[in-house]
Amino acid sequence: MNSPSVPLSLRLDQCRKGACLRITELIPQPLFGAQDDRVALRLRELGFLPGTIVKVIGVGFLGRDPLAILVNGSKFALRRAEAAKIKGEIVPGLLSSHDPLASREPLVSPTAGEARQ
Amino acid sequence: MTLAAEPFRVALVGNPNCGKTSLFNRLTNAKAKVANYPGVTVERRSGFVTGLDHAVELLDLPGTYSLFVASPDEQVARDVILGDVAGEPKPQLLIAVVDATNLHLGLRLAMELKSLNRPMVLALNQADAAERQGIKIDIAGLEEDLGIPTLETVAIRHNGVTALQNVLAEYARQAYASDNQLLSLGERPESVEALYARIDDIMARRVQQPIEPPVWQSRLDAIALHPVLGLALLLGTLLMIFQAVFAWATPIVELIEGGVELLEAGAETLLPEGILQDFIAQGLIAGVGGVIVFLPQIIILFLFILLLEDSGYLTRAAFLLDRLMRGLGLSGRSFIPLLSSFACAVPGIMATRTVPDPRERFVTIMVAPLMTCSARLPVYALIIAAFIPQQQVWGIFNLQGLTLFALYFAGIVSAALIAWIMRRRQGRDEYPLLLELPSYRWPMLYQVLMGLRERVWIFIRRVGTIILSLSIVLWFLSTYPAPPEDAVRPAIEYSFAGQLGMWMQPLFAPLGFNWQMCIALIPAMAAREVAVSALATVYAVGGESVDAALGASLAASWSLPVALAYLAWFVYAPQCISTIAVVKRETNSLSATLFFTVYLFALAYLVTWATFQLASLLF
């Protein structure tokens, strides 16, 4: 089994450093209360749209928060609360080749490391 | 050259970090007029484009991602574009500034602006950096697809904006009358998804770019954003900055102090003895000179902040510290204002404008003065030198240095504690961080110097206005009424300030303060460091080495607990009219300013009392 037949669906805040996620939808986040729609709108304006592939390029020290995310060539710092609004499927094998400090642990399947987009 | 009464008004609009301000500086020769928009506290930067026949006024709007706003800064950008700011005529031409290395994000705002049907041009900025990264843009094709006149700009080159200048000249000449603005911004003309789909389509046809950002950028971020290496790098950077602020500034500070003393001496010899001489030498020169002395430290600190900002590193620091600061109800965004406050709380409080969460902004303003500003240093230095012995602790530390560190530390810890308490009073919705981490770039000397000049000028202007007038008032209070003919004690004891000090003394008795110490607190309201010269006046010491002589007489008349209590007072008390004034301006609220002043004085009183009582028991 080289790659899972059913794509792994998870939220961006559940991803490890180095993981790539193809966004499927933005889900509500009760922490933002009445502002939630505006946060979702801003995320979409910044390029976090269904179909877009984003990559976790850094995580903070305490509680692995915030996350640094690469989207369309721009980088953004997102707290876990914002990242939890973003749901998607892991894209296997999109680990960057030149990220010396990226997590060495397998993200999905140990053999899925070679294929590129 | 015809200078029409009404200049042609042009506004620069773009994302934060798109190089808008560099472009502004290049076009206007960095001659920015900085003011505030009426009723709001966002800075209005404007200037005239150089080298044109017509007067073209360029407005540098705050960076924004969208017309659907998220922060006070963005609100102003939107309101100015739509002509919703009273007294601010709407711009006749918009320049959408798009970072050519970050097209996807920038084009979205440009397209949103285009839907307003305003006359506009698109400036692809940092075209040189894009070329180096292997990004190839078909300008003519892009222009055709977008329907916006498009040109490349390189803000770091002298001739990098010539094309834009020519376009501006053309627009100004015709003073475009056609103005079909959609005056209200109701519904989005098209969804975010549809707009991005169009941008993707256009970019697929007109732009060739590598899939990944440059390798060195990723490598730098692998270190700068790393939970351990990144924090170590940040800590090292901050230590280096503080080292520079205090070590490098000293010779320049001494030079300025020497100059001020020369001026004073000059005034005293040139002018006939009497009230005028006293006013000029003691009131004006000493008062203003006492504050100008901090200029070198402020310049060095701002130089580093600007370098870090321009290189893109400062937002990485905000990223690293966000979680820590969130525990206190703040966020990584508050880091920059608080860092500035180590030079002076005034620019620090002004820098809170970029914080979108109003509650966080309020708390940041409230705790900013607890960061040890450079004005406290002379007071600390005087008292530490007089009371703390020069001795080694555990072989490596110097007790005097440790005391200074403890005073800095006390300020930071108290700020953290107070932010934490203020946070706990409110259960409310969270604000997102959503902070862009811009591409790293080599800081541009020209831009950094221009930014520095602007900030230094703001400081000097403040010295020339608020501090100058306060110095005059305080000089008056400490000079009048004049002492009687047969006076034996120092003249200041007979003055209003002296009387006020005597009157205050019972209030401060539980803190161990004597009336001389109370008197010194009054002129120190203009600037904390004035306390040193005020103490010198009341203890009637003078001559060559004032500091050493004053230290000796303090050591003779104060006990150690009293000295420690005085230090504690200066850690907390809002002994600075300028700070209080800027809090009033930035919060635009009398009650917030009152709260700020009262809580800090109350805190100072409490901590000083505790320090005095505890130290009296121990020593």
Q: Which residue pairs from B260-265 have beta carbons closer than 8 angstroms and sit at least 24 positions apart in sequence?
A: B260/B285, B260/B286, B260/B289, B260/B290, B260/B292, B260/B293, B263/B289, B264/B289
Which residue has better confidence, B493 or B309? Answer: B309
Does the pLDDT of residue B123 top 50, yes or no?
yes
The confidence score (pLDDT) of residue B179 equals 52
pLDDT for B286-303, tens place per residue?
767 766 776 787 788 788
Q: Which of A20-29, A94-103, B275-284, B287-296 has the lowest mean pLDDT?
A: A94-103
Percentage of chain B lying above the pLDDT 90 cut: 30
Does the pLDDT of residue A100 top 70, yes or no?
no
Spatial distance between the Cα atoms of B166 and B144, rounded to a whole number of angstroms = 20
Does the pLDDT of residue B138 top 50, yes or no?
yes
Q: Give the number of residues written for chain B.
A: 619
Instruction: Say yes or no for a CB contact (<8 Å) between B437 and A76.
Output: yes
| Cβ-based neighbours of B104, under 8 Å, separated by 6 or more | A47, A72, A73, A74, B199, B203
Instruction: Say yes or no for a CB contact (<8 Å) between B322 and A60.
Output: yes
Spatial distance between the Cα atoms of B512 and A113, rounded to a whole number of angstroms = 71
> Least CA distance to A81: which residue of chain B?
B432
Question: For chain B, how big is the Rg over CA atoms in Å?
Answer: 28
User: Is A6 strand, coil or helix?
Assistant: coil
Instruction: Say yes or no for a CB contact (<8 Å) between B323 and A98.
Output: no
Does the pLDDT of residue A98 top 50, yes or no?
no
Instruction: Say yes or no for a CB contact (<8 Å) between B192 and A58.
Output: no
Q: Which of B37, B38, B35, B165 is nearest to B454 (CA)?
A: B35
Phi, psi of B394 (to 5 degrees): 50, 30
Cis geometry, peptide bond prior to residue A66 (ω within 30 degrees of 0): yes
Q: Could you tell me the CA-to-CA distances from B280 to B257, B274, B467, B498, B534 in Å, in that order?
A: 16, 10, 15, 21, 16
Q: Which of B526, B525, B527, B524 is nearest to B537 (CA)?
A: B524
The confidence score (pLDDT) of residue A117 equals 34
Task: Please count the residue pairs, one from chain A and one from chain B, whose beta carbons lie less than 8 angstroms apart.
Answer: 140
* Homologous superfamily of domain range A9-90: Ferrous iron transport protein A (FeoA) (2.30.30.90)
The confidence score (pLDDT) of residue B54 equals 83
pLDDT band at B437 (very low <50, low <70, confident <90, very high): very high
pLDDT for B333-368, tens place per residue?
899 889 888 878 888 898 887 787 888 899 999 999
Does the pLDDT of residue B2 top 50, yes or no?
no
Task: Write out chain A residues lying below 8 Å of B437, CB-based.
Answer: 68, 75-77
Tokens coding B299: 């310049």
Instruction: Say yes or no for a CB contact (<8 Å) between A75 and B432.
Output: no
Does the pLDDT of residue B550 top 90, yes or no?
no
Instruction: Say yes or no for a CB contact (<8 Å) between A35 and B102.
Output: no
pLDDT band at B1 (very low <50, low <70, confident <90, very high): very low
As a whole number, mean pLDDT of residues A18-25 equals: 93
Instruction: Say yes or no for a CB contact (<8 Å) between B326 and A79.
Output: yes
Q: What is the 3-state secondary structure (H, E, C) of B38-107?
A: CCCCCEEEEEECCCCCCCEEEEECCCCCCCCCCCHHHHHHHHHHHCCCCCCCCCCEEEEEEEHHHHHHHH
* Domain annotation for chain B: domains and CATH numbers: 8-208 (3.40.50.300)
Domain residue limits, chain A: 9-90
The confidence score (pLDDT) of residue B196 equals 92
Task: Identify any residues that bridge with B436 across adjacent strands, giving them in sequence order.
Answer: A76
- Residue A77 · residue B437 · CB < 8 Å: yes
Residue type, B56: V
Q: Could you tell me the CA-to-CA distances from B73 to B294, B354, B526 in Å, in that order?
A: 30, 7, 31
Instruction: Say yes or no for a CB contact (<8 Å) between B432 and A42.
Output: yes
As a whole number, mean pLDDT of residues B249-265 equals: 82
Across chain B, mean pLDDT equals 84
The confidence score (pLDDT) of residue B96 equals 96
The confidence score (pLDDT) of residue A27 equals 94
Spatial distance between the Cα atoms of B585 and B90, rounded to a whole number of angstroms = 25
As a whole number, mean pLDDT of residues B204-216 equals: 84
Which residue has better confidence, A93 or B176? Answer: A93
Spatial distance between the Cα atoms of B483 and B4, rounded to a whole number of angstroms = 60
Instruction: Say yes or no for a CB contact (<8 Å) between B433 and A77.
Output: yes
As a whole number, mean pLDDT of residues B52-81 equals: 86
pLDDT for B19-57, tens place per residue?
888 899 889 987 878 776 666 656 788 999 988 888 899
Which residue has better confidence, B105 or A115? Answer: B105
Spatial distance between the Cα atoms of B547 and B533, rounded to a whole number of angstroms = 9
Spatial distance between the Cα atoms of A67 and A69, rounded to a whole number of angstroms = 6
Whether the complex's predicted ipTM is more than 0.90 is answered with no
How distant is the Cα of B219 from the closest Cα of chain A, in angstroms? Answer: 6
pLDDT for B510-523, tens place per residue?
999 998 899 888 87
Which residue has better confidence, A45 or B245? Answer: A45
Interface of A to B at Cβ within 8 Å reads 31-35, 38-39, 41-47, 49-50, 57-66, 68, 70, 72-79, 81-82, 96, 98-102, 117
As a whole number, mean pLDDT of residues B589-603 equals: 95
pLDDT for B459-508, tens place per residue?
777 677 766 776 787 778 878 888 887 777 777 778 888 888 889 999 99
> Least CA distance to B216: which residue of chain A?
A98
> Least CA distance to B325: which residue of chain A?
A62
As a whole number, mean pLDDT of residues A73-99 equals: 80
Task: Write out chain B residues lying below 8 Å of A47, CB-based.
Answer: 104-105, 108, 196
Cβ atoms < 10 Å from Cβ of B210: 10
The confidence score (pLDDT) of residue B593 equals 95
Task: Output the pTM of the full model.
Answer: 0.80
